[in-house]
């Protein structure tokens, strides 16, 4: 328990965590399955089950949601098939959602099936552990890691190592199961910041360190540089033009960002810690930062418990010193600049891999929603045309890698691509939406279906020259990340003609990729029923959209 926690009053979450750690629930699953959800202790049911990724849904009582962990957003066709079988047994209640953290959630789950579901997951190496509540969320990495010829670092192994450390290889790790609040970690490996590093509590962005000498924490001087050269020239981490050949050449590592988060109370982009690490020190840095957060993070008020609040209270310098003291080493100052110098890619469409003769193809999954049949089909195409691997993006889409040139043409004629397009409309392709009122009790509005209908209507009336990124989020918790969007729509309640209606606050100015920064609220309380003309106006004024009618007249 933290020093801060022992000296301040504890909120109700801290109290129930102190009574029984969330992870203790692992040993009670059989009991709950036999008991049934209605007879369960409410705190176990509504909160502690989230430590094993099982979420009670007050909107659909008795039909739970299960949140997986997908390190770097990668899974196999076998794993996808197991997920499909799980949701298939729930008929119309069963579906799945790809999430904004490169992850997947299953719906319709009955408590009596949990022992069987966990056994099936275990058999194929899937875990749901520590995916909710005061734990580290799915760790995001570059969605085209190991495929992208221009990547600077293949993030896959590192992300897996961090997850293994945090979760004891998926079995659960009590060392990190009682944080003051949720915690997000991301590692960018490419030049386009495909993971939205800036909105994570802890993020690593590629950066080369110039000069000679003392590299990295815990690795010891020139030896560390040698390790670094080994890392970035290894097959899984493609060589780059500036691969170091001697200690005086630029060495690859990561600049560290800390404190990014969204919440109903406050949203902040991550700030530089002024620290740089070698790839092999990233896991140790994650551990050190988490230990500091766990032991000193603020636990009195849950609205002020995310890492940035501690950094505010201490100042960045003290925070850094505490991290260094946990590491047992001084952190090196940040590299002068990071390597994020591309606009963000969305990975939809066909792209050459760095492996000659192979391609990765990004498919658009409308608002990330999948049904059992879709999941079986995705597993099939990944196996028939690729290597059986499937990847998720933070835009809630999928990437199928390793499709050979010889199979590509046939792949492109597969009927599944009519449902999950590789060339969707320019609004559709960038649409993101959180869960919303269909399943989430925090929601102030319905999101996913409304988002799809709105985009369809706008695309019918307008022509576009560039994609416009529209993100919907059902409440100020901001799971749909409206602050990173070109146009962000945040659910709210609003008044019109004396009636309370579903509405949105509109955010604009979010910039992703190079020079990422957050958008801000520009208009409040637009009733959803009046939204279409408002969006149409914004798209014409700010994003070069044209009315189809006008376009026809001009061409005449
Ligand atoms: Fe979230 C809570 C869904 C990404 C900020 N989020 C919830 C809950 C668990 C609330 C609940 O119990 O109903 C939602 C579950 C609804 C459901 O049935 O699906 C929920 N969050 C989601 C997902 C599924 C949205 C999506 O459609 O993709 C995302 C799951 C990610 C994952 O795989 O783990 C999701 N949530 C996010 C993000 C985006 C991100 O991580 O990039 C954020 C903002 C970033 C951040 O956290 O800093 C986010 N979710 C929140 C918050 C506000 C946190 C805070 O500090 O106040 C809550 C509420 C809370 O934790 O108290 C929340
Ligand atoms: Fe639920 Fe709100 Fe998150 Fe949407 S933003 S999933 S409505 S908590």
Domains of the chain: 11-129+347-422 (3.90.480.20), 156-327 (3.30.413.10), 429-555 (3.30.413.10)
Q: Residue whose CA is closest, atom 3 of ligand 2?
A: 479
Q: How far is CA 108 from the centre of its chain?
A: 22
Distance between CA 30 and CA 505 in Å, rounded? 44
- The residue whose C-alpha atom lies closest to atom 2 belonging to ligand 2 is 475
The length of the chain is 556
What is the CB < 6 Å shell around ligand 1? 55, 57, 65, 67, 97, 99-101, 103, 105, 137-138, 181-182, 184, 199, 261-264, 306, 434-435, 439-442, 477-479, 481
Nearest-ligand number for the alpha carbon of 101: 1
CA atoms of 300 and 181, how far apart (whole Å): 11
Mutate to test the pocket of ligand 1, among 68, 259, 479, 519 (most ligand atoms within 8 A of CB): 479
Give dist(CA 153, CA 146) in Å, integer.
8
Ligand 2 proximal residues by C-beta, below 6 Å:
434-436, 440, 442-443, 473-475, 477-480
List the one residue out of 242, 194, 199 whose CA is nearest residue 343: 194
CA of 438 to the centre of ligand 2 (A): 10
Cβ–Cβ under 8 Å, residues 53 and 69: yes
Q: Which of 155, 150, 151, 153 is nearest to 102 (CA)?
A: 155
Ligand nearest to the CA of 57: 1
pLDDT at 237: 39
Give the ligand 2 atom nearest the CA of 440: 1
372-385 helix and 77-88 helix, angle to the nearest 10 degrees? 160
Atom of ligand 2 nearest to the CA of 443: 7
- Cβ neighbours for 404, distance < 8 A, ≥ 6 positions apart: 357, 358, 359
Residue 104: burial class (beta carbons within 10 Å; 0-12, 13-18, 19+) = buried
Distance 474 CA to ligand 2 centre (A): 5
CB 94 within 8 A of CB 416: no
- The whole-model pTM stands at 0.94
- Which two three-digit tokens encode residue 167? 């979760």
Query: What residues act catalytically?
Result: 67, 181-182, 474, 479-480
Strand partners, 363: 398
Nearest-CA neighbor of 176 among 145, 215, 205, 133? Answer: 133
352 CA distance to ligand 2 middle (Å): 36
CA 323/CA 320 separation, integer angstroms:
5
Ligand 1 atom nearest the C-alpha of 435 is 27
Please state the atom number of ligand 2 nearest to the C-alpha of residue 436. 7
Residues lower than pLDDT 50 in the chain: 1-7, 212, 218-245
Q: 457 alpha carbon to ligand 2 midpoint, in Å?
A: 24
What residue spans of 234-342 are helical by DSSP H? 282-296, 307-314, 316-327
Classify residue 515 as exposed, middle or buried by CB count within 10 Å of its CB (0-12, 13-18, 19+): exposed
Strands (E), 189-270: 202-209, 251-258, 261-262, 267-268
Q: What is the pLDDT of residue 216?
A: 54
């Amino acid at each position: 328990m933290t020093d801060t926690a022992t000296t301040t009053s504890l909120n109700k979450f801290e109290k129930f965590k102190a009574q029984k750690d969330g992870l203790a629930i692992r040993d009670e699953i059989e009991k709950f399955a036999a008991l049934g959800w209605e007879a369960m202790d409410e705190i176990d049911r509504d909160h502690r089950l989230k430590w094993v990724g099982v979420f009670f849904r007050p909107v659909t009582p008795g039909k739970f949601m299960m949140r997986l962990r997908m390190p770097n957003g990668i899974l196999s066709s076998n794993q996808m098939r197991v997920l499909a079988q799980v949701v298939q047994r729930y008929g119309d209640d069963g579906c799945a959602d790809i999430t904004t953290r490169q992850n997947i959630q299953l719906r319709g789950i009955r408590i009596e099936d949990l022992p069987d579901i966990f056994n099936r997951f275990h058999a194929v190496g899937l875990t749901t552990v520590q995916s909710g509540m005061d734990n580290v969320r799915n760790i995001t990495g570059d969605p085209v890691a190991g495929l992208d010829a221009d990547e600077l670092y293949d993030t896959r192994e590192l992300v897996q190592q961090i997850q293994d450390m945090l979760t004891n290889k998926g079995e659960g790790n009590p060392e990190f199961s009682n944080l003051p609040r949720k915690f997000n970690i991301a590692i960018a490996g490419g030049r386009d910041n495909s993971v939205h590093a800036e909105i994570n509590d802890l993020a690593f962005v590629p950066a080369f360190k110039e000069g000679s000498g003392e590299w990295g924490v815990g690795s010891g001087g020139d030896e560390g540089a040698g390790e670094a050269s080994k890392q970035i020239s290894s097959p899984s981490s493609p060589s780059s033009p500036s691969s170091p050949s001697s200690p005086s050449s630029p060495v690859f590592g990561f600049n560290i960002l800390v404190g990014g988060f969204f919440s109903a109370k406050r949203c902040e982009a991550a700030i530089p810690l002024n620290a740089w690490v070698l790839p092999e020190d990233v896991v140790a840095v994650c551990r050190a930062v988490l230990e500091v957060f766990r032991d000193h993070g603020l636990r009195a008020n849950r609205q002020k418990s995310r890492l940035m609040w501690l950094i505010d209270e201490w100042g960045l310098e003290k925070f850094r010193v505490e991290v260094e003291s946990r590491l047992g080493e001084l952190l090196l100052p940040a590299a002068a600049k990071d390597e994020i110098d591309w606009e963000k890619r969305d990975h939809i469409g066909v792209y050459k891999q760095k492996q000659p003769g192979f391609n990765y193809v990004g498919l658009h999954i409308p608002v990330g929603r999948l049904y059992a049949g879709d999941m079986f089909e995705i597993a099939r195409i990944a196996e028939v045309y690729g290597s059986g691997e499937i990847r998720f993006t933070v835009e809630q889409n999928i990437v199928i890698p390793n499709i050979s040139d010889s199979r590509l043409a046939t792949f492109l004629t597969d009927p599944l691509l009519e449902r999950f397009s590789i060339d969707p409309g320019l609004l559709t392709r960038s649409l993101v939406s959180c869960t919303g009122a269909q399943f989430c009790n925090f929601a102030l509005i319905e999101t996913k279906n409304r988002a799809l209908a709105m985009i369809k209507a706008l695309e019918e009336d307008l022509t576009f020259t560039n994609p416009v990124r529209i993100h919907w989020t059902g409440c100020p918790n901001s799971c749909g990340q409206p602050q990173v969007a070109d146009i962000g729509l945040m659910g709210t309640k609003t008044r019109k003609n004396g009636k309370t209606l579903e509405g949105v606050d509109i955010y604009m100015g979010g910039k992703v990729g190079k020079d990422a920064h957050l958008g801000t609220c520009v208009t409040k309380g637009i009733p959803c029923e009046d939204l279409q003309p408002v969006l149409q106006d914004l798209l014409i004024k700010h994003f070069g959209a044209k009315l189809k009618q006008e376009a026809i007249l001009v061409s005449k």
